[in-house]
Structure 1
Amino acid sequence: MNRLHPFSAVVYALRYGLLWMWLPFILVSLLAGTVAVVSIAWLPVVTALGFLFGAGYGIVYYYRFEYGITPDTFDVASGVIARRSREIPYRRIQNVDVRQGVFQRVLGLAIVTIETAGGGTSEAALNVVSKSEADRLQHQIRRRTAAVDQDDSAESAEDDPSAEHPSEDAPATDRPDETDRSDERPSSVETDSRPTADRRESSRQRLFALESRELLLYSLTTVRPAAIAAIGFLFLFATDTILDLLVSIAQPLGGPEDLQNGDTQSYGVLTVVSVINGVIITYLVSVAYTFATYYDFRLGRVDEDFVYERGLLQRYSGSIPAEKVQSVTVTDNPLQRLIDYAGLWVETAGYGPDSSGGSQSAVPMARADHVHRFTENLTHVETPAFESPPPIARRRYLVRYSLIAAAVVAAVFGLAQVTPIERWYFAAVVFATVPPAAHLRYVHLGYYVGEDHLVIRRGFWRRRTTVIPYFRIQTVSTRRSIFQRRLGIASLVVDTASSRTLFWDTPTIYDVDLEDARGVHRTGRTRLQSALRERARTDDAGFSVDFT
């Protein structure tokens, strides 16, 4: 078993020291006003004692933290009072991320996180190890995971009678040819005397690199949810300095002199100006965040895995096992569609896009035709001919958005009853947006039932086109609301083993005829069984890492 880098002792000592110093501080502060024997003068002493005790605990935690690579599992043991030992089988490991902040990059250190199937949270985190040790762990775990996957595929093929006695009618390309595969590997690998790190670097094949122009376009045309949350938090807990700054910006435009002195009109100007400033600041923060996150993004191939690197201030590197990929999604928004650009994302079991462990973006942004070609080469899906929902779905959206517009007008009318707002009826202009909104939602919906894949398109502000191999489908469920039952339509939810987040929902075929939904349901179930048998026979992962 191995220990973390000695600098980890300092990290844990500071972490637990700062955490535990607050416990006696809060306790003495509360008791000093109610218990006579407790004095507020104790604070410096008890705070220092709390820090020392926490720092000591952190150092002991460092010495009690061990990890190691075994033939079948990656083992981690931790804990001081309550010990926890984890054995993580390689077949469950989805990704090994290596993360470096600015300070860690200067010192040659890194944080290693291991993601597994079954959730988006990290199964194990090594904080911190040397960069060379992080690269070694990443390579060793990736290699052992690939070996386990190959063994599982071989066992499945042995258990399948059709694998041992392939049909004479089967095309020759469907039969594995081990000789051809071995010929693709250079014979010098076995006898290469170069250091292991050099051999790994030379075996990496570059698939995609985000150019400076594309990075800038991606930053300017993307709004990150993290930026919205950060600015919302800032405005929620705005200090007097921030409020005074907003007032001073609004004053030349008719805002109040201060928050205590003003009329309805000046306060209205202050509100409008503050909202505009919030939008501008949010956008600028989003641009900076996206630029720093995807700076120097590179995607490559090592054996049967995708490997990526990205980040300016904090550098990430990780892998995307082709065997574990559940679906592929092409994304774009109105601005990106206007300039004919798009992005490509992949999802693995228990580790979906935008998860906390790291990005699963294969191509953050590139020409739309390039992204579509990447997708076709990656998944081998034929060019989809999308089917749209019936016209009654558009009328449904028209009614839905009309009700929303009516609610907005009603809210403005109610506000006018308790405030000096006049001409509330101007809010009815929102009804003008209802027809185009209903139409845009309708025309961006579609689905395609292919021979090997199901393709689902949905969304306008963030349109997503998801390609799902049939053998990756976990469940297909038909959902019908009260209104859908009255209209004879239904929505079909297609679920895989990948993670879902607040901003990345389950692929859904919305508002199709009930009979069409049932037909897709039956077709998906039938082709799922066929795809599983074919995959076991041909040992096909379903995705290709050679997609350039």
Structure 2
Amino acid sequence: MNRLHPLSAVMYALQYAFIWLWIPMVAVIGLAAVFDPISGGWTVVAAPFGFLIGSAYGIAYYYRFGYEITEDTVDVASGVFARRDREIPYGRIQNVDIRQGVIQRLLSLAIVSIETAGGGQSEAALNFVSEAEANRLQSEIRQRTAEVKERRQQRRRDEAAANSHSAAVDRDSDLDGADQQRPDVAEPETQTGEPTPGLGPDEIGPERPPHMRQADPTADAESTAPHPSQRRQGLFDLEAKELLLYSFTSFRPAAAAGLLFIFFFATDTVLNLFVTLAQPFGGPADLEGGNAGSYGILTIISGFISVLIAYVLSVAYTFATYYDFELGRVGEDFVYERGLLQRYSGSIPSEKVQSITVTDNPLQRQIEYAGLWVETAGYGPDSNGGSQSAVPLAQRGRVYRFTENLTGVETPKFSSPPTVARRRYLVRYSLVAAVIVALAFGLSTVTAFEQWYLAAVVFVAVPPAAHLRYVNIGYFVGDDHLVVRSGFWRRRTTVIPYYRIQTVNTRRSIFQRRLGLASLVVDTASSQSFVWSSTTIYDIDLEDARDIHQMSRKRLQSALRERAESDDLGLSVDFT
């Protein structure tokens, strides 16, 4: 078996050394609290001892770790005391990702992660191999995986051909039997008037039926020929202008986490900064001295600065994450590379794609740009619970053409919910506004804030909010696809082929039942996360929901039969 890069021994030694460093220290401190002869000063000796034990274990782990690429599987063996041997069949491999952090890129190292279909985590991870070895492993595993898929498809085609041939033979037999029972049917004669003699196997001419022809040895040689080397074909490059637009027109939730991280480790510095910046606008001179008005100004200024810092962090994070984004095609899979500080290289198997989603926010809609995401039936370290970006941002018309060419979906003509749904949203947002006013009133009873009634200004936003919610909901029931649109701040237009539908649920709340409405939830085999939820058609007529429910079930069965007969993947990766 092959070993990891020698620097992996150093990495593992340091990793386990710092883990084992704390074990004897905690043990000594705990024993010292119980037994008087044991002193807490012994940690000076216990800590280096644990460090050495951990280093030795890390080096042993390196020498006990091996991997090998065989004809049928990827074999990985690991473990010092408890050994684990894994044989990963190529037919189960979904993705081979390469990840490089800043230090790994400086040392020309990489982490190779092997993902399997439906897995919740990496099936195997090689930490670390050389960059050249990582590229070799990724290329070879992809090629062998493609060969397995091709053999599987060929077997299905052969079985379909054999079934059709058997049916043809049965029909011919039935016809022959019918002809023999007819007394007026004469034997075919040659020019001499004699019946045509039977032909031997070597004398069969070109008109011989397919099931009587001899097998062509060259055809078998071609069918068993090795899979050609897969070449990468470029499909989409994120240009500098598009990268900047994407960075400035999107917001990453991770930026809020970064802001909390800064505030946690520099609380006093951040608070003093807020006080200093709020003073010119009437804020307090310090945190100890001030009145209700100055503290209110400090709160407003602090909130504005926090949002601004989070936005700047989001822009930087998005720019570094999608820097030099490239989408390509290798065989029947999408492949992508991206990243400035941390470089990613992965793939999106076309046969695992469950749905296609076009996303945009209000700012991106104003400049007529949108993004394209794919939902896959599996896990990847570079995905949001199965959602992966195929095109981060491009002109909206170009993204729509990508989607239509990728899925074959016809141009949708969206249907809207009934107008009673807009009334429902108006009532819902009015209740939210009333809660905000009630909270402001409650705050005024325990603080010096007296103008609680100013919070009633939120009622002004209720009608436009209800209208925007309503007009951005739509659905289209096509011949082969279901298209669902929803959302305002992040509008999602999802295209779901019928053969990818797992379940369709009709849900009705108490308020929906009173209005004769229902929501239709369409689930696929893709993983769901906090960011990406199930595709839902909101607040449509109950009869329409039932019709779509029944129609989806019927077209699902029809689509599955058609795909089984044609052996179609359902998607075309050539969508430029």
By the TM > 0.5 criterion, same fold?
A: yes
Counterparts of 2:561 and 2:5 in 1: how far apart (Å)?
47
Give the residue type in structure 1 aligned to 2:94. Answer: Q
Q: Is the 8 A contact 2:474 2:484 kept in 1?
A: yes
Offset of residue 351 of structure 1: 3.2
Deviation at residue 131 of structure 1 after TM alignment: 1.2
Q: Which residue of 1 aligns with 2:253?
A: 225
Q: Which of 215, 231, 235 lines up with 1:207 in the alignment?
A: 235
Kept in 2, the 8 Å contact 1:113–1:126? The answer is yes
Q: Which residue of 2 aligns with 1:397?
A: 425
Corresponding residue of 1:313:
341
Task: For 1:191 and 1:365, locate their aligned partners in 2 and report how far apart those are by CA, in whole Å.
Answer: 35
Mean CA deviation greater in 301-310 or 230-239: 230-239
Does structure 1 retain, via aligned residues, the 8 Å contact 2:386–2:526? no
Cα 1:71/1:543, change in 2 over 3 Å? same
Displacement after TM superposition at 1:311 (Å): 0.5
- Does 2:89 match 1:99? no
Separation (CA, whole Å) in 2 of partners of 1:432 and 1:474 = 42
Using the TM superposition, give the Cα deviation of residue 492 of structure 1 relative to its aligned residue in structure 2, in angstroms: 1.1
Query: C-alpha separation between the residues in 2 aligned to 1:542 and 1:86?
Result: 32
Distance 2:484 2:456 in 1: 35
In the TM superposition, what whole-angstrom CA distance separates every residue of 1:270-290 from its partner, at most 9, and x where no partner exists?
Answer: 211111111000000000000
Shift of 1:353: 10
Shift of the 274–220 alpha-carbon distance from structure 1 to 2, 3 Å rule, reads same
Distance 2:480 2:386 in 1: 29
- Identical-pair percentage: 67
Alignment map for 1:5-404 (pairs within 5 Å): 5-32=5-32, 35-160=35-160, 164=164, 203-235=231-263, 238-351=266-379, 355=383, 360-404=388-432
* One-letter code aligned to 1:386: F
Distance in structure 1 (CA, Å) of the matches to 2:548 and 2:540: 10
**SS of the residue aligned with 1:328?**
strand
Is the contact made by 1:353 and 1:361 (CA closer than 8 Å) also made in structure 2?
no
Q: Which amino acid aligns with 1:535?
A: R
Q: How much does 1:434 deviate?
A: 1.0
The higher radius of gyration belongs to: 2
Partner SS state of residue 360, structure 1 = strand
Q: Is the Cα–Cα contact under 8 Å of residues 473 and 496 in structure 1 kept in the other structure?
A: yes
Q: 1:42 is aligned with what amino acid?
A: W
Q: Partners in 1 of 2:97 and 2:385 — Cα distance?
A: 7
Q: Could you state the TM-score of these two structures normalised by the residue count of structure 2?
A: 0.85
Contact 2:18 2:51 in 1 (8 A): yes
1:317-347 deviation line (CA, Å, top 9, x unaligned): 1111112111111110001001000001112
Find the partner of 2:521 among 467, 472, 493.
Answer: 493
Residues 353 and 98 of structure 1: is their aligned pair in 2 closer, same or farther, counting only changes over 3 Å? Answer: closer
Shift of 1:163: 7.2
Q: Is the 8 A contact 1:120 1:357 kept in 2?
A: no
Instruction: Find the aligned partners of 1:269 and 1:23 in 2 and give their Cα distance.
Output: 50
The secondary structure found in structure 2 opposite 1:122 is: coil
In the alignment, the residues of structure 2 paired with residue 416 and residue 67 of structure 1 have an alpha-carbon distance, to the nearest angstrom, of 67
Alpha-carbon distance between aligned partners in 2 of 1:480 and 1:300, rounded to the nearest angstrom: 43
Q: Which residue of structure 2 lines up, in the alignment, with residue 544 of structure 1?
A: 572
Give, in whole Å, the separation in 1 of the partners of 2:504 and 2:166: 31
**1:383 CA displacement:** 0.5
**Residues of 2 paired with 1:404 and 1:90: CA distance?**
53
- Structure 1 unaligned blocks of 5 or more: 169-188, 193-198
Q: Structure 1's 504 and 54: CA in aligned 2 closer, same or farther, altered over 3 A?
A: same
Matched residue, 2:554: 526
Q: Summarize the Cα distance change of 1:357–1:386 in structure 2 as closer, same or farther, 3 Å threshold.
A: closer
What does residue 428 of structure 1 align with? 456
What is the Cα deviation at residue 14 of structure 1? 0.9
Q: Deviations over 1:252-273 (max 9, x none)?
A: 2222222222222222222111
User: Does structure 2 retain, via aligned residues, the 8 Å contact 1:331–1:464?
Assistant: yes
CA deviations 1:476-495 (Å, max 9, x no partner) are 11111121122211111111
* 2:94–2:117 CA contact under 8 A, matched in 1: yes
Q: Which amino acid aligns with 2:538?
A: Y
Equivalent position SS for 1:37: coil
**Could you tell me how far apart the structure 1 residues matched to 2:36 and 2:15 are?**
33
AA paired with 2:283? G
**Per-residue CA shift, 1:15-52, capped at 9, x if unaligned?**
11111212233343455556433333223221111111
Could you say which structure has the greater relative contact order, defined with CA pairs below 8 angstroms and 6 or more residues apart? 1
Report if the CA contact (8 A) 2:485-2:491 is conserved: yes
Quote the Cα distance in structure 1 between the aligned partners of 2:22 and 2:58. Answer: 15
Q: Deviations over 1:505-536 (max 9, x none)?
A: 11111111111111111111111111111111
